[in-house]
Amino acid sequence: MRELGVYVHVPFCRHRCDYCAFATYTDRDRLMARYVAACVADVARAVRVGELVEATSVFFGGGTPSRLPAPWLSRILAAIPRTADAEVTVECNPEDASPERLAAYRAAGVTRMSFGVQSTAPHVLASLGRRHRPESVPRAVEAAATAGFSHVNVDLIYGAASETDEDWAGTIDDVLSLPHPPGHVSAYALTVEPGTPLARDPARHPDDDVQASRYEVAESKLSAAGYGWEEVSNWARPGHGCRHNQLYWRQGDYVGIGSAAHSHLGGACAGRRWWNVRTPDRYVAALEAGRSPVAGEERVEGDRYELERLMLSLRTPAGVPGSALPDAAELDGLVVRERGRAVLTVSGRLVLNAVSSMLLVGTPEAATAPSPCADAGPAEPAVQVASGAGASGRYPAVP
C-alpha cells in the first residue's frame, strides 16, 4: 500500500514563544472559521486533481492546532480521505488539554496526541516565553489516557540559558515518572532563529557544548527507560514510533494543507515539491476565489534528489549505504559500519552536519550498478556537499 501523509498547518497562537520563527500569528483569530472552510476546500481540490488519495497519516501542526475549537478541527479531519488504520496526530498545548477537548478529538478519529511541554522547570519556561505551568503537564497526559489515547508524544527543548544540568535531568525524569509515561519523546536543541526575541537577546543564546552534554543526558536516560532513538531528536518505546515523521525521513509523499504548508510527491529518482502562500489571509483569499493557494514549486532529481534521501536517512537508525560515506579517519567513532550500512553513533549525532558534509553520490563505484535514475538524463559528476546544500529546508516541522 502506498503511504501518503497529510500535514495540516494551523497558524493561530494565543502567544508567540520567544524562539518561534514558524508561520504563526497571534492576531488572526478572526479568520478561524473562514480558514477552516478554506482547508476543507483545499482538501477537496487536492483530491480532485489526484494529489491526495487515502492518507496513511495526518498531522495537525502549527502554530497551535488546539487553538481551534475541537469541532472545527474535526471538520477538517473529516474531509481528509484516510485509511482505516491511519495515524492522526494533533499538537496541543498542555493547558488546552481539557477532558472535553480530548474526548472530541478521539471521537473524530485522532489517534495520537503531542503535547508541547518543553520543560518542567518554571524559570526555564519563562525564559523560553512559554505561558503554561508545569502542573498542567501531568493533567494533560492523564486526560489523554482517560480519553483513550495509547499514543502520546511530548516535545522538550534543551539549552535555554536559564537551564541548569539539574533542570534538564529533572525534566526528563518528570516525564518518565508520569503515571502514564508518553510512548514517544522529542527533544530539540534550542535554536536561535533570525527575527525572534531570542535572536535579539544574545544573553539568552544557547551554548553548543552545553547542548551537546544535554543531548547525551537525554540519550542516556531515555535509552535506560526503554526508548530507542527513532531520529536524531526523537525517541520511542517499541510500537510507539511516529509513522508520519518516519514518512518524512524516508523521503515519502505528503500533501500540505493550510497556509505555509509544504508538499512532496516523488519517485525513485525525482520529486516535485510545492508550498502554499505563507499568511492565512492570502490562503483564505485564494481558496475563496477558487484559486490555487500554491506560491511556488520545484522539481528535484538525479544526484541532488539522492543526496536529500541520504541526508534524511542518515538521521535515523537505518543510516546510509556504506558506500555513501568514505572510509576516512575523520569518521572514526562517528559511525558504525555493519551489514553494508553506516549508522551514526551518539557522538556522530552530535556532529550530524559534519558527517552529512561527507556524503557522496554519483561516485564511479555507484555508476557501475543499475540506477533507478537511468532515464533521468545524463548523470551528474560525483558531488560532495556541505550539510544543507541540496536540501530545501521546506519539509514540515516534525515533533
Query: Is the pLDDT reported for residue 363 higher than 80?
Result: no
The residue extents of the domains of the chain are: 4-249
Query: Is the pLDDT reported for residue 368 higher than 60?
Result: no
Beta strand pairing call for 151-158 and 112-118? parallel
**Could you give phi then psi for residue 4, rounded to 5 degrees?**
-145, 125
pLDDT (tens digit per residue) in 60-105: 999 999 999 999 999 999 999 999 999 999 999 999 999 999 999 9
Query: Is the pLDDT reported for residue 30 higher than 70?
Result: yes
> Which residues contact residue 380 at a Cβ distance below 8 angstroms, ignoring those fewer than 6 apart?
302, 303, 304, 362
Handedness of CA 177, 181, 183, 188 (dihedral sign): negative
Higher-confidence residue: 368 or 125? 125
Name the 3-class secondary structure at 326.
coil
Confidence of residue 373 (pLDDT cuts 50, 70, 90): low
Q: What is the mean pLDDT of residues 336-356?
A: 97
Q: Give the integer Cα–Cα distance in Å for 23 and 361.
A: 34
Q: What is the mean pLDDT of residues 349-361?
A: 96
Confidence of residue 2 (pLDDT cuts 50, 70, 90): confident
Sheet holding 335-338, edge to edge: 320-321, 341-344, 335-338
- Using CA atoms, how far residue 156 sits from 170, 185, 306, in Å, is 12, 8, 31
pLDDT (tens digit per residue) in 227-257: 999 999 999 999 999 999 999 999 999 999 9
Average pLDDT, the chain: 90
| DSSP assignment of 186-202 | EEEE----TTSTTTT-G
Query: Is the pLDDT reported for residue 160 higher than 70?
Result: yes
Q: What is the mean pLDDT of residues 181-192?
A: 97
Query: Is the pLDDT reported for residue 372 higher than 90?
Result: no
Looking at domain 4-249, its CATH superfamily turns out to be: Aldolase class I (3.20.20.70)
Higher-confidence residue: 379 or 41? 41
Half-sphere exposure of 136 (CA within 13 A, CB side): 20
Task: Kindly state the cell numbers that stand for 303.
Answer: 544526484
Whether this model's pTM surpasses 0.75: yes
Query: Is the pLDDT reported for residue 55 higher than 60?
Result: yes
Of 297-306, 354-363, 386-395, highest mean pLDDT: 297-306
pLDDT at 305: 95
> Which residues contact residue 53 at a Cβ distance below 8 angstroms, ignoring those fewer than 6 apart?
2, 4, 47, 81
Amino acid 279 reads: T
Decide if 257 contacts 8 (C-beta within 8 A).
yes
Q: Give the integer Cα–Cα distance in Å for 187 and 117.
A: 10
How many Cβ atoms sit within 10 Å of the Cβ of residue 121?
Answer: 20
Query: Is the pLDDT reported for residue 338 higher than 80?
Result: yes
Query: Is the pLDDT reported for residue 386 higher than 60?
Result: no
pLDDT at 362: 73
